[in-house]
Amino acid sequence: MEGPANTLNYFIAGYVVIFGIMAGYVTSLAVRWNNLKQDAAVLEELKEKEGEK
């Protein structure tokens, strides 16, 4: 009797894509968050300096 088709490579490729895209998105969220935090800190500083003038 013939067994299941050997499709292991496609299975691996599928899960690499799934976890790769999810990891990429989580990284993008973290990077954008850090960039915005830095921007906010700089702008707050500028605002304080403006207030002192």
Partner 1 sequence: MADKKPGLLTGLDILSVVLLLVVTGMVFFYAPLEAVMGAVQKVFYFHVATGWVGMVGFLLALAAGIAYLRTKDMKWDIAGVAGVEIGMVFMLINIITGSIWARPIWNTWWTWDPRLTTATIMELVYAAYLMLRQGLEEPEKRARFGAVYAIIGFISVPLTFLSIRIFRTIHPVVIGGGDPGAEGSFSMTPKMLQTFMFSLVVFSVLAVDLIWHRIRLGKLGEKVEALKMELES
Interaction site with partner 1 (CB under 8 A): 3-8, 10-11, 13-15, 17-18, 21-22, 25-26, 29, 32-33, 36-37, 39-40, 43-44, 46-47, 50
What's the rounded Cα separation, in Å, for the pair 25 and 17?
12
Q: What b/e readout covers 11-47, taking b as 16+ CB neighbours within 10 angstroms?
A: eeeeeeeeeeeeeeeeeeeeeeeeeeeeeeeeeeeee
Q: How far is the CB of 52 from partner 1 (least distance, A)?
A: 14
Considering the complex, state which of residue 11 and residue 52 has its C-beta at the smaller distance from partner 1.
11
Considering the complex, state which of residue 33 and residue 52 has its C-beta at the smaller distance from partner 1.
33
